[in-house]
Structure 1
Amino acid sequence: MLPPAPRLPEARALIEMDRYFVLHAPRQTGKTTMLRTLASELTAEGDIAALSFSCERAGTVGDDIGAAETILLKSLRRAADLSGWPEELLPPNPWPQNPVRTQFGEALSAWCSRCPRRVVLFLDEIDALQGTSMVNILSQLRDGHNIRPDGYPFPTSVVLCGLRDLRDYKVGSGGDPGRYSPISPFNIIADSLRLGDFTADQIAELYDQHTQATGQEFAKEAVDRVFELTQGQPWLVNALAHEITYKMGVSGTIGDSHVEDAKERLIRARATHLDSLVARLHEPRVKRVIEPIVAGTLVAMDAAIDDDVSYVHDLGLIRGTRDPEIANPIYREVLLRVLGDRTERQVRADPHSFVLPDGRFDLPRLLEEFVVFWREHGEVLIQQEGYHEAACQIILTAFLHRLVNGGGYLDREYAAGTKRLDVLVRWPYTGTDGERLMQREAMELKVRRAGEHDPTPDGLAQLDRYLDRLTLSTGVLVIFDRRPEAPPWKERGGFEQATTPSGRQVTVLCV
């Protein structure tokens, strides 16, 4: 485990200044573990009694404020009893009796009045609270905070920890995310911090702990590949290492090929963390952000969509809020695989039939098969696809995945505003001298919509740049025609050769 300070240096400074603030992070980022570690470190220094406790169970009682207060105080008590603290630091037992709607704040005050140290609280999973229960608890915290300078005993610092940022607390409790009135329970927060992902150096440090404990090393190429695939997402970083060292049982030095295999196994297994993310794909506010990213169109920016972008960012599905993109390559692949499930079930071709006698993959034949598939199923699949604007990209990548994934790899790149989706087929095979080789085939996917000019020139230039980056001499540009005046479905699927601006000969498929 990594120490908390490097991942969140601002937190300690705010606590030392007796501030109340928000700490938010996507699920499975190590937030709870970090809070407990930070609380232990602060307490061990001798001036602070810092305690982290969960609010999650209080969310089950909805708007029943009294029940929520009781559950929170029981959770706080349990955390204190398990802390191993001396008696003088512990809260009173039993808690003093007070009227409903004041119990929580009065209990905290009673504890602070007897504790010889400054009390710091981390309210983990605060966003589990709902409606009036959330408003009431935060109002009690605000009231205590505001009269604390007059000598009222109350926690010197409170950290609200959850999945969402402060604005979504307003939404979750029925408020307007853009308004903070003078009596709002949300107006005492000094800052809102987001727990970041691991850096490449932090991944190396984390994996080195495994090396020190077992003697098994991670090659630099493996660490670099983990960072490339995960962009430091903590659950993915740990899950890949666990998959390699425990489930795959790799012995000896761990290389980038082991990381690649572990990635495929994780995605196929659809671990709980990945499932919990993809389950949100059809939430309206998530779809409004993710669909244009997959389609390569612009995310319309207005007040409503800004909140949606922030929400999806807080979920951990995207990075960046001005030019959002999917958070990491693993999520990018998982999202398209999930969205393409319906298409994959329609593909009847045998993947092995596309393997040439020399072991290479027959991409031209696959594209011919796709034309047949598109003519027969494309119209219906587009109508059925919930992500209607991105339907073409989803369908083709699903078709490719169904036929490539048995022996090769499919890498996808897409982002809002690019008006394209890049696909790289990687197919390992054995050369004539027994050497292991990798066939690479690049494709650029574009869509022509009503009122738009012919995207072929832009597509050829974009494909050129993609091929430059991959150091490939040729590729395929696929253009989907979604104009009302497009040819009848049975006539779609023409192939032609074209020359890119740099002089490459490439294939253009119009469907």
Structure 2
Amino acid sequence: MTERQFNTAGPSIPGDHYLLDPLARVDLAEIESLIEAKRYFVLHAPRQTGKTTALLVLMEHLNRQGRYRCAYANIEGAQAARGDVQAGISAACHAIARSIEDATGERALYDWYRREGEAIDARDRLTALLRHWSQMAPQRPAVLLLDEVDALIGDTLISLLRQIRAGYAQRPAAFPQTVVLCGVRDVRDYRIHSGDGEIITGGSAFNIKAASIRLGNFSEEETRALWLQHTEATGQRFEEAIWAELWEDTRGQPWLVNALGHECTWQDRELRKNRALPVTLERYKAARERLIQSRATHLDQLTDKLREPRVHAVISRILAGENPHDTLPTEDVEYVADLGLIETRPQLRIANRIYREVIPRELTWTRQITITHEQAWYVRPSDRRLDMDKLLAAFQQFFRENADAWIERFQYKEAGPQLLLQAFLQRIVNGGGRISREYGLGRRRTDLFLEWPLDEAQGFLGPVQRIVLELKILHRSLEATIEEGLTQTAAYADQCGAQEAHLIVFDRRPGRSWEEKIFHRTETIGGRTIGVWGM
């Protein structure tokens, strides 16, 4: 029998993949109540969170009950038509008719569509198709699960929403009892540019929405339960210390949970070949780093979202340590949360530790590969330790020579100094060390935790140099900023078990010379010596 795997692409299949019950991840009673009440509603979730899997299982569940004829249709193919209503609605209708045939066996609908439906004006064709389907067997009302709706563009999307709205009053005898719109975004967040330049919101084009249901992440218990299915199937154990790391790294984001599981149990060839070997914490951390460096499709899509103005406005302030609620509409924060990029409880922050790693790496990728400084310059031959004084002094000079030009080219200028230092450090530690990042929202600070193995052969299983760097933008007096920063740096170093700690203060005030901004001194707090660097 083929061994099941963690799934990282497409819907999960019970016989092939480790899988949590999809219907347990949604409020099935609420969904059934909405269908019973003939409501139209939205089910949305970030990409690769199990949305399609849940929809397909929901379709099977409803059809098994025998009360409804339910079909799932993915209409993403209509995206290629962009604002061409004729081509876009034609593609959507074809996909829907085919999907209904596949789900319910109703071949007559597709035959009707090819014979008569295709001749109907595109502006009324979808309404006519759904009307005909509903009237074929009115004793069993139709339910349509329409996926990837928000992939459509411009007038095609407007026409689709309005045609569904046009038939709403005829449900269930002459139109589906329920239509569920599925996508990454809630319909309220659709910003549709029509052919004449008008911007139409999804809420105005589809004002018949009764509810909006969001498919959330796994809970901490569900995350662990999914991984333990691998142990049950193969006998391979996970070291207990992994669970806390797995939760902080993913916060239950389904694709990340599965992708890390796949890296640990399949991409690690030694563990794949010998299931008697346990998955240790260090093997897990190595798998996490491979995943981050892979720039997988899911992580690429995340990076693409960072270019959206509404996303940029929120994330840039988090990276800079500012509070987005001070200047941004609540709906923008809610939108970025719906995309799965941030959490709003217990505080506003980037959603999980892997995203906190990926976002600055991706934002500084081109800077990393064009920085000429090499790792060897800062590694002491005698003990293979990073010479942090030498490294940070070199960065001071680099920052003086490049900051103004390079920060101006950053898309995220608000966090430019912090991102530039992270790019510099990432260039140095790539292929050897690790950097973990924390963003102190509202405290105008970024905490970096650098781990550097001192024995290449043993890697992180041997002795490790641990260094904390706290980055602050100067907003008040220099001495007040340093005083606050020293306390924060010492506390973070104690939390991480770091042997070395440095506080970096970026002075971006206009009119200050580089001679005034650049300095280096040491301070002692609570018996700990901390390097203080001005930039």
| TM-score (structure 1 length as normaliser) | 0.88
Give 2:509's aligned residue.
483
Select 2:111's aligned residue among 84, 87, 93.
93
Give 1:107's aligned residue.
129
Superposed displacement of residue 69, structure 1? 2.9
Give 1:340's aligned residue.
364
Give 2:174's aligned residue.
153
Determine if contact 1:371/1:492 at 8 Å carries over to the other structure: no
Give 1:360's aligned residue.
385
- The reply to whether residue 207 of structure 1 matches residue 227 of structure 2 is yes
Superposed displacement of residue 123, structure 1? 0.6
Superposed displacement of residue 474, structure 1? 5.6
Q: 1:375 to 1:59 in 2, by over 3 A?
A: closer
- The reply to whether residue 393 of structure 1 matches residue 393 of structure 2 is no
Let me know the Cα RMSD of the aligned residues. Answer: 2.9
Partner amino acid for 1:143? A
Select 2:190's aligned residue among 169, 178, 190.
169
Give 1:327's aligned residue.
351
Determine the C-alpha separation between the residues in 1 that align with 2:401 and 2:320.
22
Select 2:518's aligned residue among 493, 504, 507.
493
- The reply to whether residue 439 of structure 1 matches residue 457 of structure 2 is no
Determine the C-alpha separation between the residues in 2 that align with 1:188 and 1:57.
25
Give 2:340's aligned residue.
316
Determine if contact 2:450/2:467 at 8 Å carries over to the other structure: yes
Identity percentage of aligned residues = 38
| Unmatched segments (≥5 aa) in structure 2 | 1-18
Q: How does 1:161-200 map to 2 (within 5 A)?
A: 161-171=182-192, 174-175=198-199, 177=201, 184-200=204-220
Give 2:26's aligned residue.
8
1:439 partner SS: strand
Comparing 328-337 and 219-228, the one that deviates more: 219-228
- The reply to whether residue 134 of structure 1 matches residue 157 of structure 2 is yes
Q: How does 1:39-54 map to 2 (within 5 A)?
A: 39-54=59-74
2:123 partner SS: coil
Give 1:290's aligned residue.
315
Comparing 16-25 and 59-68, the one that deviates more: 59-68
Q: How does 1:215-254 map to 2 (within 5 A)?
A: 215-249=235-269, 250=271, 251=274, 252-254=277-279
Superposed displacement of residue 420, structure 1? 0.4
| TM-score (structure 2 length as normaliser) | 0.85
Q: 1:322 to 1:451 in 2, by over 3 A?
A: farther
Q: 1:140 to 1:453 in 2, by over 3 A?
A: farther
Determine the C-alpha separation between the residues in 1 that align with 2:469 and 2:164.
56
Aligned residues: 499
Give 2:3's aligned residue.
none
Deviation string, structure 1 residues 181-206 (Cα, Å, up to 9, x no partner) = xxx44221111122111222222222
Deviation string, structure 1 residues 353-408 (Cα, Å, up to 9, x no partner) = 43342343332332222223223333332333332221110111111111123322
Determine if contact 1:144/1:152 at 8 Å carries over to the other structure: no
Give 2:531's aligned residue.
507
1:94 partner SS: helix
Superposed displacement of residue 409, structure 1? 0.8
1:440 partner SS: strand
Determine if contact 2:23/2:54 at 8 Å carries over to the other structure: no
Partner amino acid for 2:130? L
Give 2:397's aligned residue.
372
Q: 1:131 to 1:386 in 2, by over 3 A?
A: closer
Determine if contact 2:435/2:448 at 8 Å carries over to the other structure: yes
Partner amino acid for 1:290? I
Determine the C-alpha separation between the residues in 1 that align with 2:502 and 2:248.
25
Superposed displacement of residue 86, structure 1? 4.7
Q: 1:171 to 1:65 in 2, by over 3 A?
A: closer
Superposed displacement of residue 31, structure 1? 1.3
Comparing 21-30 and 465-474, the one that deviates more: 465-474
Shift >4 Å, 4+ stretches: 170-177, 449-454, 471-474
Comparing 36-45 and 376-385, the one that deviates more: 376-385
